[in-house]
Structure 1
Amino acid sequence: MNAMNTATFLSQLQQQAQAQKSLVQSEFLTLDQLELNFKLHATGWSILECLEHLNRYSRFYLPHVEQAISSAPASLTPQPVCYSWVGKKSLDVANPNGVKKHKTLKHMNPHNSQLTSEVLEEFLQHQNTLLQLLEAAAKVDVNKKAIPIEFFRLLKMRIGEALEFLVMHQQRHLQQALRVKNQILQPISLVV
């Protein structure tokens, strides 16, 4: 969370979001239903559950971000990106390099859901929307507090914080899905 101007900030988020879209296309679209639903252990998530969790967040946040961008004041020159206490805390929780596990809210937890590959298609649609919003955000003040936090809607994140949160949160769970995929590909050792 270094202070940078909005143009650089949004450009980096666009690159990361595009890479996430490409990763899902190259790593998960070719897997069959059994592989997509494979779990390392009973309490773990499958690849589809990781992506469904992200879809649930996108269903909540993307419409709020879109509304905030459409009503935010125009910004003709890049400004420094600012962070609020709430934004910093949200980004800390979503940080893909964080080792601390966080309990998922019940309605955001897809554990033991009946999921199909449609989850992947929905994720890619959300990713296209996110990329469009990142482009649109370049024309507005991303420091405007406007995005309610999903679990406590009275608290608000800034537009830039919410966009960064979405990208970081996705990275965290795409890494989790990749770990599951890597276990699928491990040869099974038989003890004789």
Structure 2
Amino acid sequence: MKNQTLEEWAEPLAKIIESHLEKATSTYQNLSEDVLNARPADGGWSAAGCIAHLNTYSDFYLPKTRRALGQVVAEQGGGTFRSGTLGKLLTNTIKPENKLKLKAFKAHRPPEDLDGVAVIAQFIEYQEQWLRLLHEIEGGNQLDARVQSSITPLIRFKLGDVFAFMKAHDERHLQQADRVLGSLMEKV
């Protein structure tokens, strides 16, 4: 775990968020309700379900991230960030290339009856909020602010790790949504 400058930390995350926004606005937003809510043959989540799952995490982490960011005054000169052990472990566990099957916590499971169009609109709004928050960070010390975990209030992550976890988690489930949509296209 090496120290990263604020720029080294923020630049890749900004690119990821921008790519997620691009995918949502150019692809998902243009799909019909039926396509968004079609479930794969294996009974897994629909594309809208995958994205609704992501929205539940943004519902939880965005307000806490905003609050944590507002409680720390940025140090002059940028500073550096070093990922915490637990934050790095969870981020690496959730990355798409890790094929480990993980069961979603009950609070983060998508409901059966989804308004797919509204789910996509909410996802786009959340990505825009994450990007705005990312641009508000002015000092590496702000990334050390602590944010409560959605798992239990006893676990707190560094703010910088929350961003990394959220974007890895988003990427994992956007790839899942793409696989679902790809399997639907194969049937046509």
Q: TM-score, normalised by structure 2?
A: 0.93
What is the aligned partner in structure 1 of residue 97 from structure 2?
Answer: 97
The CA distance in 1 between the partners of 2:11 and 2:63, in whole Å, is 21
String of CA shifts for 1:1-20, please: whole Å, max 9, x gaps: 65421212112111110111
What is the aligned partner in structure 2 of residue 141 from structure 1?
Answer: 141
SS at match of 2:147: strand
Code of the residue aligned with 1:185 in structure 2: it is M
The CA distance in 1 between the partners of 2:83 and 2:26, in whole Å, is 34
The CA distance in 2 between the partners of 1:157 and 1:93, in whole Å, is 15
Give 1:79 deviation, angstroms: 2.9
What is the aligned partner in structure 2 of residue 183 from structure 1?
Answer: 183
The CA distance in 1 between the partners of 2:60 and 2:35, in whole Å, is 28
What is the aligned partner in structure 2 of residue 52 from structure 1?
Answer: 52
What is the aligned partner in structure 2 of residue 170 from structure 1?
Answer: 170
The 5 Å alignment of 1:7-18 reads: 7-18=7-18
What is the aligned partner in structure 2 of residue 41 from structure 1?
Answer: 41
Using a 3 Å threshold, how does the CA distance of structure 1 residues 12 and 138 change in structure 2: closer, same or farther?
farther
Deviates most, 167-176 or 69-78: 69-78
CA RMSD of aligned residues (A): 1.7
Q: Determine if contact 1:6/1:142 at 8 Å carries over to the other structure.
A: no
Q: Determine if contact 2:66/2:133 at 8 Å carries over to the other structure.
A: yes
Q: Determine if contact 2:36/2:48 at 8 Å carries over to the other structure.
A: yes
The 5 Å alignment of 1:115-134 reads: 115-134=115-134
Structure 2 unmatched ranges of 5 or more: none
Q: Determine if contact 1:5/1:78 at 8 Å carries over to the other structure.
A: yes
Asked if 1:151 is matched to 2:157, the reply is: no
Identity of aligned residues (%): 24
Asked if 1:30 is matched to 2:26, the reply is: no
SS at match of 1:185: helix
Give 1:180 deviation, angstroms: 0.9
String of CA shifts for 1:64-103, please: whole Å, max 9, x gaps: 1101111113122233321222212220232121110111
The CA distance in 2 between the partners of 1:101 and 1:148, in whole Å, is 24
How many pairs align? 188
Q: Determine if contact 1:69/1:137 at 8 Å carries over to the other structure.
A: yes
Structure 1 unmatched ranges of 5 or more: none
Q: Determine if contact 1:6/1:81 at 8 Å carries over to the other structure.
A: yes
The CA distance in 2 between the partners of 1:143 and 1:22, in whole Å, is 26
Q: Determine if contact 1:49/1:113 at 8 Å carries over to the other structure.
A: no
Give 1:114 deviation, angstroms: 3.1
Q: Determine if contact 1:142/1:159 at 8 Å carries over to the other structure.
A: yes
